Amino acid sequence: MTIVLPVKAKANTQLLADRVAFVTAAGSGIGRAGAIALAQCGAHVVVTDLDGKLAAEVAAEIVSEGHKATSKQLDVTDDDALKIAIDNTITRFGRLDILHSHAGIQIEGTLEQVSPEGMDASWALNVRSHFMAARAVVGQMKKQGGGSIIITSSNSGVQFDREMIAYATTKHAVVAMTRQMATDYAKHNIRFNTLCPGFVDTPFNAGFEVQMGGRPALEDYIKQNIPMGRWATVDEISDAIVFLASDMSSFMTGHALVVDGGECI
Ligand SMILES: NC(=O)c1ccc[n+]([C@@H]2O[C@H](COP(=O)([O-])OP(=O)(O)OC[C@H]3O[C@@H](n4cnc5c(N)ncnc54)[C@H](O)[C@@H]3O)[C@@H](O)[C@H]2O)c1
């Protein structure tokens, strides 16, 4: 099969002009690509990550391209730090239009292989941190007349994997939570959607690679199991982030947007 990768379209620099975006886990992979894409569309992006150095590098890259960004070291499992970072963003800019709550963890294994601590850590990052982040922004979004909240799930939030009890369970739970929040806040024009990527070639898949028995086995798995026969590029996922963040999806809420090359068909 010949693999043809898409050419990224030029960004519409006015699409998100004057909007403020707050992105978690934006120092690498999908979060990084999304933060850059939001900034290229005109938003001021607050780039946060557990690794403050990575967050600062992404913000510097955005600014060096002539766009707007600031950075902050942030562990999303630290409730107080998360709330303070969001409150400070609102105080500084007087608004917050887009939250992309992206951080997540994948702990592989079956019921007998995943420890209770692994299950708790999955819940803390894949569900609870999104609850806390959304909780911190909705008050301001209500005041300003709306906003877009994007929560990263996975296509593992709409289908079941093998030997992934902690990941699949929490990723399904966050889709459910997002749909509930969407119904509760639609009247305030606050949209909640989940982003559900399939395989994207980032450091996130290191554990799964080991579980598969190494890189060649993983590449073979991708070729055999993804109908489009390849990984997603981070740009293909950041296009979906821009879509959900912007008025291009203005009548869409409670949706689980699957971008997975057909894997979960
Ligand atoms: N890459 C994929 O194939 C894929 C597929 C589906 C869903 N996802 C989801 O995307 C998210 C991350 O994937 P990625 O590909 O961008 O990963 P990545 O490994 O490229 O980046 C993850 C980032 O998260 C940061 N991080 C880790 N713990 C954190 C914490 N407690 N607080 C704040 N930041 C933290 C890391 O420092 C790192 O910069 C997860 O929610 C994951 O479930 C990824």
pTM over 0.95: yes
pLDDT at 1: 65
Q: Has residue 61 been placed in a domain?
A: yes
Across the range 44-73, mean pLDDT stands at 98
Q: Do residue 211 and residue 88 come from a single domain?
A: no
Across the range 193-213, mean pLDDT stands at 93
- How would DSSP label each residue in 168-228? HHHHHHHHHHHHHHHHHHGGGTEEEEEEEE--B-SGGGHHHHHHHTSHHHHHHHHHHHSTT
SS (H, E, C) 89-139: HHHHHCCCCEEEECCCCCCCECCCCCCHHHHHHHHHHHHHHHHHHHHHHHH
Q: Do residue 219 and residue 247 come from a single domain?
A: no
What CATH number has the domain bearing residue 29?
3.40.50.720
CA–centroid distance for 184 within its chain: 21
Q: Do residue 130 and residue 216 come from a single domain?
A: no
Q: Do residue 42 and residue 92 come from a single domain?
A: yes
- The predicted-structure confidence for 145-181, as pLDDT tens digits, reads as follows 999 999 999 999 999 989 999 999 999 999 999 999 9
| Structure tokens that stand for 199 in this block | 């395989």
Average pLDDT across the chain, whole number: 97
Q: Do residue 96 and residue 138 come from a single domain?
A: yes
Q: Has residue 30 been placed in a domain?
A: yes
Q: Do residue 39 and residue 125 come from a single domain?
A: yes
Q: Has residue 10 been placed in a domain?
A: no
Across the range 174-200, mean pLDDT stands at 98
| Interval between CA 152 and ligand 1 midpoint (Å) | 9
Q: Ligand 1 in contact with 104 (CB < 6 A)?
A: yes
Rg of the chain, C-alpha, whole Å: 18
Q: Has residue 5 been placed in a domain?
A: no
Q: Do residue 133 and residue 221 come from a single domain?
A: no
| Structure tokens that stand for 111 in this block | 């019921």
- Residue among 137, 204, 122, 222 at smallest CA distance from 167: 122
Q: Do residue 159 and residue 49 come from a single domain?
A: yes
How many separate domains does the chain show? 2
195 phi and psi, to 5 degrees? -100, 125
Q: Ligand 1 in contact with 152 (CB < 6 A)?
A: yes
- The predicted-structure confidence for 90-143, as pLDDT tens digits, reads as follows 999 999 999 999 999 999 999 999 999 999 999 999 999 999 999 999 999 999
DSSP state, residue 237 = H
- CA nearest ligand 1 atom 25, residue: 25
How many whole angstroms separate alpha carbon 185 and alpha carbon 191?
7
Q: Do residue 122 and residue 223 come from a single domain?
A: no
Domain boundaries, position 239: 20-197+233-259
Q: Do residue 95 and residue 223 come from a single domain?
A: no
Q: Which among 54, 123, 199, 202 is the best mutation to test ligand 1's pocket, defined by most ligand atoms within 8 Å of the CB?
A: 202
Q: Do residue 250 and residue 218 come from a single domain?
A: no
Q: Has residue 215 been placed in a domain?
A: yes
Q: Do residue 28 and residue 94 come from a single domain?
A: yes
